[in-house]
Structure 1
């Protein structure tokens, strides 16, 4: 690596990324610098995004929450945002240490697409759409399509994540993470649940069980029939464990040094049942 640039606008950032094939965009660097220092990544150039104003901040527009790519985990867990996207805030609070949460960013988390990411399952359950900008212009891509099971997202050459759009919902949201200890632990399994009572929408996703978050559509469809949407409750306490079983049945978890597949399947079933129990009591 022998080139570095610090663009002051989105146009400059795209130009810098496009100017050198193999250039790497970096924001907080909490993941990428580890890989660079270990020799796992050898970028020909680095484009620092910290001073690009178009990537900062958040706003509410037309029933959606628009999140700038440079929002840190700490900012995502702020009470003003937590009331609008509780599952995302819960996931952001679960990330690493305070030092990491103060530096790591939303866009960087999508850009590295680590299988153990805490944000990505929550964003998947929320039905997030990612806005990208590159030399060919703008495009919007559903998060699931951008990840597509890869270790790196399907960004085009010279393209970077600008913002993320998630719908505002009225209803409970939950995120549960399991690791070897309560803090500073890589995720063994995670589960996110989003219920929108107004639109009768259910989104749920499992994390750290596959190369990318797994959207659990069959479990979502079944749960939609088990909810009393008028009062926002479930009729039968047996729904909780049944939901957990359906979630686990949809998964083919990875088996690695962090945990065996059987353990991950069991943990996800417990997390799903617990998340639903927290979200919706019995009537």
Structure 2
């Protein structure tokens, strides 16, 4: 096995171009497990840990929307500590990843590169309409996250590309994330769900994990809830949500899934669990919105 350790980003891109089958290693929390269990034996490993710019994040603006550009090497622990206010849904998901040691090593970029349907970071990124920045020696491109996942552990990345960063809009309303597993920590999700409210555009975002061949959103649920809130003038005058709204939202989320039976749970259980998670997370997010916190675009006071 060859081991490549570039000192800078341009060297990493050159190495990936010359060795398109090379497996990138950032935190190594997925790759090393596969190696230890002999589930995978790549001919070349591409170590990205020396590349400082991958461990940086910055505030940006994209199409007039305040966003955060997160380098592919930023670990989960820093997402929690440094971006919990700006990106609350992503920070909530990061808290459920493994142990403190895993969160100190594991990266959002690595989570995306592995493209696992069970990746904990994927649902909040979908709910936020994030964009993935990919780069190669040929240049860079940015694609919407809903176009990034193409199959089980497959993505839209070309063989010579690496994940450079993730662009995530700054929260303008409440966000929530829930995860079901066989225990509270150190567990792969049975299913996950994220919801984000975007009051400034009267919009709703969702993300499902471990519930289909790829992470996905629930567009019919988003459209239903956004329309219901607008029709009832709930964005500007929020009142308790009728049970019929939360129940229908949960039904539409569950209908968006395409789960399978596996060692962690049955398809039927996952469908039921998503129904419950969707109702609960929506209730938590709406209670927060009704609580009077100021959100940009629609400033409200208790």
Q: Smaller-chain TM-score range?
A: over 0.9
More divergent stretch after superposition (231-240 vs 128-137): 231-240
Q: Flag structure 1 segments of 5+ consecutive residues without an equivalent.
A: none
When normalised by structure 1's length, the TM-score is 0.95
* Shift of residue 140, structure 1, vs aligned partner: 0.6
SS in 2 for 1:91: helix
Structure 2 counterparts to residues 58-77 of structure 1, below 5 A:
58-62=57-61, 63-77=66-80
Cα distance in 1 between the residues matched to 2:118 and 2:8:
31
Cα deviation code 1:241-280 (max 9, x no counterpart)? 2211121122222221211111101100000000010011
SS in 1 for 2:194: strand
User: Aligned residue pairs: how many?
Assistant: 281
When normalised by structure 2's length, the TM-score is 0.89
SS in 1 for 2:109: helix
Cα distance in 2 between the residues matched to 1:70 and 1:37:
22
Cα distance in 2 between the residues matched to 1:266 and 1:140:
35
Return the match for 2:227 from 221, 225, 246: 225
Structure 2 counterparts to residues 233-248 of structure 1, below 5 A:
233=239, 235-248=241-254
SS in 1 for 2:168: strand
**Residue 54 in structure 1 maps to residue 56 in structure 2:** no
Does the CA contact (< 8 Å) of 1:226 and 1:234 recur in 2?
no
Return the match for 2:97 from 82, 95, 98: 95
CA change 1:149–1:183 in 2 (3 A) is same
* Shift of residue 146, structure 1, vs aligned partner: 1.5
RMSD over aligned Cα atoms: 1.5
Cα distance in 1 between the residues matched to 2:189 and 2:249:
22
Q: Flag structure 2 segments of 5+ consecutive residues without an equivalent.
A: 291-302
Return the match for 2:268 from 254, 262, 270: 262
Other-structure match for 1:35: 34
Other-structure match for 1:113: 115
Structure 2 counterparts to residues 20-31 of structure 1, below 5 A:
20-31=19-30
SS in 2 for 1:148: strand
Cα distance in 1 between the residues matched to 2:42 and 2:177:
34
SS in 2 for 1:222: helix
* Shift of residue 232, structure 1, vs aligned partner: 4.3
Cα deviation code 1:12-69 (max 9, x no counterpart)? 0011112224211110110011112323322221111111122122111121111110
Cα deviation code 1:119-153 (max 9, x no counterpart)? 01111111110111112111111122121223132
Other-structure match for 1:209: 211
Cα distance in 2 between the residues matched to 1:274 and 1:178:
13
CA change 1:19–1:51 in 2 (3 A) is same
